[in-house]
Every structure is written in structure tokens, then in C-alpha cells.
Chain A
């Protein structure tokens, strides 16, 4: 039948055509050389967070007017040595907070960060000899009509002594900030005479001696000369560059633009569409997850200086020099593997890269996005690599069967790597075996019960908690303002937004008592399922569509990280529930819990304790670290693990868990204490050492078991099966797992 043949041939041809069009090739070019980081922070006094980094004809200048004694640092040798001088012209009274720029002739221009109609003088020019001349920038002042204020977002020098100021109008009413986007860019000369007003949309500006560059929200960059005339417009190819928060926008004398952020430095050649990533932020200090990119200047195309805010108070300054000879292809590779992303891990990786610039430290996050496959697929891939001897060097075994790895001899001994005294005994002892230490957690979490001191002490078991819940009111679902408080007598005892939240909290307090080495503890399992059902039914958590998950993100801690408040805790904090029982992973959260919201001091009325589950002192290990026995770079792996447990890394407060080392806890607490004291509060902190002293049982039950019990618990809560049936089902399911292991 020839028609069949023809059909087949045609189909084949068409599909070949399609696929040929679809196949794409990507080529990557690698440049030679790389940037080398040197820290050049001025010695003696730490810089405040508002210090300005400036480029002067002489070199680098840093103006720190926020200090008790305002100070200026100068360096003419690119930061090797610094000269300190007093900032005599700064008058806190009249000047308040300033935005400072250095004009190309060496003089300084200072403008108040916020200008209101009542300000007589708000701009000054400070000559190199120290004379201060107030400038009346009329056009800018005129913006403050109608009770508006102007925020000076950016000042860019151009020409010999000209400058452009971008001021955005805004009003502040009842704590609500509303800005007027239709504001402008004013080009002035050194005497304060307006040369031109330029309509400009955003404050994203930079300049070199001859040109001013303004980038708008769509990535269109308009180039002006020193008279304010448009020279060219570089259009639209830079759209997606503005996705990241730009820390610094710089230009060199050849009109090449540099976009700098925590992710790295991208160079844009003038007029073209070529974007080149010249620095990968993750290899340097400014790319640390816990750092904030505060500003930067360009000395020349081979030298950049960045100001990085590494904790909430002080600034550090780093210089980056291009080393053309440095090899970009590393001799050694260190592979760090983790199932999920972790900020602490990234901090450690970043630090490792800085300490060993010749080593290619590869961080593999296995479950990065939707295409990663199921947990089983990921484990299968990992195991195959390990079995073949080409596995990663460092393994983070959270949620995987870590014990299996340790027992099957797949991990190396960590006894020499981490000092036994460094960790709290509670976190070290469970992992000490006769043959050595193969796993160690770098972080931990706990389940806590929080509420009034009286109520918390009355709850001594999950049963009594369930009783309390059952006697209390249900949760009134309101879809309006989620922060509305509920009158005390109407408040439910607890609330979770979904079933999984409830289950996980309880699981982490009970799992080791439910599933032991011998099998399922049926009595404990029954009790567990009952408790979960009571609470789930009381709040209707078992129905398929629960309430919209509301999570609150709060920034606190000793650096720039944002933390998410567990939903039941946020309900408790805004007085919508009487108690909270949830997972706590940060010291700051614990402090938040223990303090009175209005005074900020430790409240004697509020208390929290370990959730009284079935196990004594249950805690969840995080970042369970092991070094592969077949690691190809064992020394580097050991150095990395040592770094992960060092004070430098553990002292950073990040989401995910609290440090397991004594030094880490101490560092985080002292940083927090300093902040509280600065805000006029007592230096008393949450007694974390007491809490850690109570911890005994790590919860290491596997994901398979957890999912099995979770599905069974949900069905029981939904009333689909009787208690006997549910327990039976769990036992049978787990039986297989246990049989396989025996």
C-alpha cells in the first residue's frame, strides 16, 4: 500500500524539519583571568552603615558623618594606607542625614537626604581647602511646594564642577509613603545655577567626566553631555538587567557601563548589546547571602572598590583588581552536594571560595526547581554517582537516609575535622559511634510551645494540649486584614493554616517514639493520630482547601537576612490565638517570642518551652554534614567542613536553623545583645543555653516514613478510616521498610 509508505515518509520528513529547527546550540566563551579581592577597610574605627564611598582626583575617600566624631578617610594608594581627618564642616544640627558626592574638581557636594519646605539651607559645597558654601538650589527647593518632601536619591558629578541631582517628591501621611514619580533631574553648575532640568524616570544614574547616563525602568539608557543635551540613547536591550537589585551603577571613561549587585558585575559595552559577566558575586564577599551591597566606585576598568554591609551596623570596603594571569580553569574542584538550598551553606561556600581562590567550589542543589524530579530520582542519581566512585566530596544529608550512609561505610570520619568541644554535647553525642563520627549537624531546630507563663506550664502533654484546644473556640476565618486582633475570650488556643503545618510540628516532637528500630509503637501511634485528629477537626484543617497560607516575612537578626515567621506564631504575636506551637529556627524568633511587644524587654508574662511530645528533648538536626569516603579532594572537603563549623560562619544568623556550635550561639547572641542595648533595652537575652541543655533526642526518621504516616493521619482526620485500620495500614507499610533493612 504505497499511500501508507508515503504517509510515513511525509511524517518523518516533517518531523525532521521541525526538530532541525528546534535544536539549539549554546556556546560559551571563557575569558582569561579573574578579579582578586583585597579588603581595604580603614583600620581602627568601624565604618557606620551610612558612610559614603567617593572617588576623588586623589584616589579614594570615605566620608562617615554618622560617627560621634564625623571623620573622613583618604587614600591615594588604592586603600593600602589611609589618612584620617576630621570632618570639620559637618554640623549635625543643620545637616542631618546627607547624601554626598565628589565633584571632578575634588570639591564635595553635600545635600540633605530629605528636603522639606522648611529647610533654609539644604545643599553645601565644600572646597578642598575646607570652605563651606551653601548653595541655593532653587529648582529643587521649588519641588517642596504643596507640603511635599523631596528625597535626594542620587547625585552625579559631571564636567569639571557640575553635578546632577535626582530628587523624588513624596508625601508621608499616617505612615503611608506615596511618591510622585513625575520628578526630576536637575543639572547644576558649581555655583548652584540651574543649567537644565531633565525629565528622568528613575534614580538609576551614573556619570563619568564627560557623560551622564540615566537608565529607566525599561532598560533604556539615555546619555547626556555636561550641558544636559542628549547625546544618544542606548535602547531596550538591557531590560532584564534590572531584575536584580542593583547595588551600584558605574561608568568608566570609555563609556562602558557596569551594573553591580550581589550577584556579580555585568559590563555593558557602549552602544552594543553585549553583556558580559565579569565577576560572579558568589565568589566574593559582596555576594555573600548575608551581605548587602552598599555602594561602589570604579577606579578604572581593572579596579573596582565596593562597600559591603556585612552586618547591620558596619561597612567593609573591598578592592577588586583584575589579574590577567590568574588561571580561570581551576586545578582542583570541590563538590558540595545538598538536597535543598541553605543560606548557611551558601555562606560557607562563599567563604571557601574566598579562602581558596584557585579551587572551583561547586555547590550542587539537587532539588532546585520543578525539573529536578522526585526525591527518589535524585537519590538514585546521587547513589549511582557514589557507587561509581565519582560522587560529591561533601554531602548534606538532610531528609535522606543519613544513617544508611553512615552504616554502610560511605562516609569518612569527622573526628579530626571538627573539634569535639566546639559543639554542644546534645548535638554531638548522638552522632558519636564506636567507629567514629560520620555525621554532624551544622544547625538545629526545635518545636516550642509558647503562651502565657501560666498556660504553658499547665500543658504537660499533647493530650492536655488537645483538651485545651477542644475546649476553646474554633478559628474565625476572616479574609480581611489578617492582623486584626481577636478579643481574648474569643481567641482559639492554637491555629495552623494547613494540615501539613500541624502534622510536621507534631511529627518533629514525636517521631522517634512512633517508629523505633523494632518497628511501629502502636500505642504511641494511636495516641499521636488521635491528637492530630482532634486539633485538625477542631479547626477544619483536614478539608482539601484550607485557608490561604499567610506567612509574614520579617527582617531582623545581625545582618540583612529576611526571616519568615511561622504562621501559627504570627497569629499568636498579633493576639489572634492564646498560644503557639511551632518550629523555631532562629534566635531572633525566640527573642521575639519572649519579649513584650510594646516595651521590647523580656516579658515575665510570656513563656515558652519545648513542646511536650512523646520524646524527651526532641530536636531536628539541620545541615547534616558528611564527607564522602570516596571523596576525591578529602583535604579540601575537611577544610570546608571545618569552615562550616567555624565561628565566622556559624555566627551569621540565617534562616534554616540555629547554630550547633557554642561559638556560633555566643556570636549571634552577643550581636543581638549589642543591638538591644543600643536601642535602650536591657542586655538580658532569651536563655538559649537552658533550652539546649534540655535537648536529647534527634529526630532522624526518614521522609518515606513521614509521608506514609502523614497520609494515614490525614485520612484518619478526614474520617475515612477507623483508628484500627489506620494503624494497621501504617504498620503494614512500614513493615516493608523495616523488613528491607533487617
Chain B
């Protein structure tokens, strides 16, 4: 049902085609063609010369490193996206309640996004190394130093970094979404005797659904970017808990294992498609009207 054809006015589709033409043309060259190549290479050997059928896919699905990376990525996704959504929404509500002073807070929270990766890496190493500042504080307080990067704590450090970096922008988006909810709805509800909690759940949240869609997709995008920091701090073979799909891709590339790299890449792309398409339909509300 979601896929029923949208019939617009006559010529609307043609106009759309024109509008889309440059973008699609460029995409074809720079993305579709490489993607098709990747599909092709997933069925061949490293140099792309001899076909090997489905063996790359079979090998990938059996490979324990791939399974670990995929499960880590999924775990990360399952934890960090909801966390981020909740945290940024909370921040947005707080900042909103503090109007008009909250304006400066907005800039503050936005800044982490602008920080270059290299600086974050330096900061991270300074804080979380075996002999870093945090361990120094712990030692001074008499506690045992924690091996942040060498244990499961690494997972949470990564999540913390992710939240710290992205909360700001998501907060801005929530704020915009919140601003878009007409006050009339609240007024009407208050007249009907609804409490604050009820208003939040019944009015605010549903009205925020489109924003939720946007924020969720962006959070997903930024989650993949977390690899940069993880890689620069912990190298190609980090602790088990933060071994992500991109680590595997990187290492397979360095080992010239291109067939399996391509197969794994296609699997990831398919997984994303499966996640994104339904999400898109459910959460896009604005346009129908």
C-alpha cells in the first residue's frame, strides 16, 4: 500500500525528472556505477577477473570476524540512537523552558560538532589512556585505574563521544520541531483538563514524529562516522567491543581480500535498505496533506 503510485498533475513527473536530472546523472557516475562494480566484484576474485559465484557471500556469512563486527554495529545502533534521541530531546525541552536565555546554550551545545576529528583524538587519548587524566584522577582518589580502551568500557567511551558530539545538532532539530507545534493545540488540551504529562505524550510526541524521522536518519548517519575516532585512537584492531564493520572492511582491503569485502558491503547496503525504507514511510507525515 505504501508503494501505490503517486499520480500528480499532468507533466509533474516530467518536471520532476528535469529537476532530478543533474543529481541523478552525477549519482550514476559517482555512486551507482561504483555500487554496481561492487556488486560485480562480490561475485569475483580479488582482481575482478574470475567469477567465483556465491562463495564470497557464503564465506562472509560464516566469518566470525564479520559476525562480531555486524553484531557490534547493531548493538551500537540499538543503544546509541535511542540514547541520543532521548538525550537531545531532553536537552531541547530544558533549553526551551529556559527561553530566552537558552540561546547561548544552543551555541554551546552545537560546538562539539565542529570539532575536528584530530582534536577529539588527542583529547580522547589524553583522557582515556592507561596513563591518561581520568586514570590519574582515579589514582589520586585511591581507586584502581581503569583500562578504558582495552575492555568493554571502550564501548561506552565511544557512545559517550557520540552523544557528546551529536546532541547539539539534534537538539536544534527538536527545538525547531517543538516550535512548529501550534500553541492552539496545547491551549485546547488545557481547556479539556489535560495534565502536563498527558499533553506531552498525546500532543508533543505525535507532532514530533516527522522530526523524529529526520533526527533518526541523521543519527544513523553520524553513527557510522564514529568509526573515524575509534580508528584513530585504537587502530585497526581495537578491543572486541568496538570492532565495527568498517574496521573489518578496512582490514580486508589492506589484505586485498576484495571479493569478500564487496560481498560484505552489499550485505550491509541491503540491511540498510531494509531498515530505512519502512522507517521512511512510517515517519514522514508532512507531505500527504
Residue A405 contacts which of B248, B252, B256 (CB distance < 8 angstroms)?
Answer: B256
How far apart sit A408 and B150, CA to CA, in the bound complex (Å)?
33
Cβ B254 vs Cβ A733 within 8 A? no
How far apart sit A380 and B253, CA to CA, in the bound complex (Å)?
8
Cβ B256 vs Cβ A708 within 8 A? no
Check if A736 is an interface residue, CB within 8 A of chain B.
yes
Check if A732 is an interface residue, CB within 8 A of chain B.
yes
Contacts of A401 in B (CB 8 A): 254-255
Mask of A562-583 contacts with B, CB within 8 angstroms, 1/0? 0000000000000000000000
| Residues A736 and B256 in contact in the complex (CB < 8 Å), given A409-B46, A704-B236 | no
Cβ A409 vs Cβ B236 within 8 A? no
Is the contact region of chain A dominated by helix, strand, or loop, or is it mixed?
helix
Cβ B254 vs Cβ A732 within 8 A? no
Cβ B237 vs Cβ A708 within 8 A? yes
| 26 A–B contacts, CB within 8 A, in A order | A376-B236, A383-B253, A383-B254, A387-B47, A401-B255, A404-B257, A405-B256, A408-B45, A408-B46, A408-B258, A409-B45, A409-B47, A409-B49, A410-B46, A410-B47, A410-B256, A630-B47, A708-B237, A736-B65, A736-B68, A739-B63, A739-B64, A740-B63, A740-B251, A740-B252, A740-B257
Mask of B40-57 contacts with A, CB within 8 angstroms, 1/0? 000001110100000000
Cβ A737 vs Cβ B253 within 8 A? no
| Residues A383 and B256 in contact in the complex (CB < 8 Å), given A630-B47, A708-B237 | yes
Check if B76 is an interface residue, CB within 8 A of chain A.
no
Residue A740 contacts which of B240, B255, B258 (CB distance < 8 angstroms)?
Answer: B255
CB distance from A390 to the nearest CB of B (A): 13
Contacts of B255 in A (CB 8 A): 401, 404, 408, 740-741
Cβ A742 vs Cβ B237 within 8 A? no
Which chain A residue lies CB-closest to B239?
A732
Give the one of A376, A401, A736, A739 with max B CB within 10 A. Answer: A736
Residue B65 contacts which of A380, A732, A739 (CB distance < 8 angstroms)?
Answer: A739
How far apart sit A376 and B254, CA to CA, in the bound complex (Å)?
8
How far apart sit A739 and B49, CA to CA, in the bound complex (Å)?
26
The 10 A-B residue pairs with the shortest CB-CB distance in the complex, in nearest-first order: A739-B65, A408-B46, A740-B65, A739-B64, A404-B255, A408-B256, A736-B237, A379-B254, A740-B251, A404-B256
Which chain A residue lies CB-closest to B253?
A383
Mask of A641-652 contacts with B, CB within 8 angstroms, 1/0? 000000000000
How far apart sit A742 and B236, CA to CA, in the bound complex (Å)?
17
Check if A593 is an interface residue, CB within 8 A of chain B.
no
Residue A629 contacts which of B47, B68, B252 (CB distance < 8 angstroms)?
Answer: B47
Contacts of A737 in B (CB 8 A): 237, 251
Check if A190 is an interface residue, CB within 8 A of chain B.
no
Give the one of A408, A708, A742 with max B CB within 10 A. Answer: A408
CB distance from A215 to the nearest CB of B (A): 47
Contacts of A739 in B (CB 8 A): 63-65, 68
Question: Interface residue tally of chain B, by bracket?
Answer: 20 to 34
Contacts of B46 in A (CB 8 A): 387, 408-410
Check if A692 is an interface residue, CB within 8 A of chain B.
no
How far apart sit A409 and B68, CA to CA, in the bound complex (Å)?
28
Contacts of B248 in A (CB 8 A): 740
Which chain A residue lies CB-closest to B50?
A409
Cβ B63 vs Cβ A380 within 8 A? no
Contacts of B64 in A (CB 8 A): 739, 742
How far apart sit A379 and B255, CA to CA, in the bound complex (Å)?
9
CB distance from B134 to the nearest CB of A (A): 18
How far apart sit A691 and B243, CA to CA, in the bound complex (Å)?
45
Check if A386 is an interface residue, CB within 8 A of chain B.
yes
How far apart sit A380 and B255, CA to CA, in the bound complex (Å)?
9
Contacts of A729 in B (CB 8 A): 150
Contacts of A732 in B (CB 8 A): 240
How far apart sit A429 and B91, CA to CA, in the bound complex (Å)?
67
Contacts of A409 in B (CB 8 A): 45-47, 49
Contacts of B68 in A (CB 8 A): 736, 739
Mask of A717-742 contacts with B, CB within 8 angstroms, 1/0? 00000000000010011001101111
Which chain A residue lies CB-closest to B65?
A739
Contacts of B252 in A (CB 8 A): 740
Which chain B residue lies CB-closest to A720?
B130
CB distance from A375 to the nearest CB of B (A): 9
Which chain B residue lies CB-closest to A737?
B237
CB distance from B153 to the nearest CB of A (A): 15
How far apart sit A630 and B47, CA to CA, in the bound complex (Å)?
9
CB distance from B66 to the nearest CB of A (A): 8
Which chain A residue lies CB-closest to B238?
A736
How far apart sit A331 and B254, CA to CA, in the bound complex (Å)?
32
Residues of A587-642 at the interface with B, using a CB-CB cut-off of 8 Å, are: 629-630
How far apart sit A383 and B253, CA to CA, in the bound complex (Å)?
8
Contacts of A708 in B (CB 8 A): 237
How far apart sit A376 and B64, CA to CA, in the bound complex (Å)?
23
CB distance from A705 to the nearest CB of B (A): 10
How far apart sit A737 and B235, CA to CA, in the bound complex (Å)?
13
Cβ B63 vs Cβ A742 within 8 A? yes
Contacts of B65 in A (CB 8 A): 736, 739-740, 742
How far apart sit A494 and B47, CA to CA, in the bound complex (Å)?
49
Cβ A733 vs Cβ B63 within 8 A? no
Which chain B residue lies CB-closest to A404?
B255
Contacts of B237 in A (CB 8 A): 704, 708, 733, 736-737
Residues of A364-416 at the interface with B, using a CB-CB cut-off of 8 Å, are: 376, 379-380, 383, 386-387, 401, 404-405, 408-410
CB distance from B87 to the nearest CB of A (A): 29
| Residues A386 and B251 in contact in the complex (CB < 8 Å), given A630-B47, A739-B68 | no
How far apart sit A380 and B256, CA to CA, in the bound complex (Å)?
9
How far apart sit A203 and B22, CA to CA, in the bound complex (Å)?
71
How far apart sit A376 and B63, CA to CA, in the bound complex (Å)?
23
CB distance from A226 to the nearest CB of B (A): 65
How far apart sit A737 and B251, CA to CA, in the bound complex (Å)?
9
Mask of B59-97 contacts with A, CB within 8 angstroms, 1/0? 000011100100000000000000000000000000000
Contacts of A387 in B (CB 8 A): 46-47, 256, 258
Contacts of A742 in B (CB 8 A): 63-65
| 17 other A-B residue contacts (CB within 8 Å) besides A408-B47, A737-B237, A742-B63 | A376-B254, A387-B47, A387-B258, A408-B45, A408-B46, A409-B47, A409-B49, A629-B47, A704-B237, A729-B150, A732-B240, A736-B237, A739-B65, A740-B65, A740-B251, A740-B257, A741-B255
How far apart sit A732 and B150, CA to CA, in the bound complex (Å)?
11
Give the one of B47, B49, B68, B248 with max A CB within 10 A. Answer: B47
Contacts of B240 in A (CB 8 A): 732, 736
CB distance from B244 to the nearest CB of A (A): 12
CB distance from A537 to the nearest CB of B (A): 21
Mask of A118-156 contacts with B, CB within 8 angstroms, 1/0? 000000000000000000000000000000000000000
How far apart sit A386 and B65, CA to CA, in the bound complex (Å)?
25
Residues of B239-287 at the interface with A, using a CB-CB cut-off of 8 Å, are: 240, 243, 248, 251-258
How far apart sit A729 and B150, CA to CA, in the bound complex (Å)?
9
How far apart sit A740 and B251, CA to CA, in the bound complex (Å)?
8
How far apart sit A401 and B46, CA to CA, in the bound complex (Å)?
15
Which chain B residue lies CB-closest to A401?
B255
Contacts of B254 in A (CB 8 A): 376, 379-380, 383, 401
Contacts of A405 in B (CB 8 A): 256
CB distance from A438 to the nearest CB of B (A): 13
Residues of A682-736 at the interface with B, using a CB-CB cut-off of 8 Å, are: 704, 708, 729, 732-733, 736
How far apart sit A408 and B256, CA to CA, in the bound complex (Å)?
7
CB distance from A121 to the nearest CB of B (A): 72
Contacts of A383 in B (CB 8 A): 253-254, 256
How far apart sit A409 and B63, CA to CA, in the bound complex (Å)?
21
CB distance from A528 to the nearest CB of B (A): 20
CB distance from B1 to the nearest CB of A (A): 43
How far apart sit A739 and B243, CA to CA, in the bound complex (Å)?
12
Contacts of A376 in B (CB 8 A): 236, 254
CB distance from B27 to the nearest CB of A (A): 21
Which chain A residue lies CB-closest to B46?
A408
How far apart sit A405 and B45, CA to CA, in the bound complex (Å)?
12
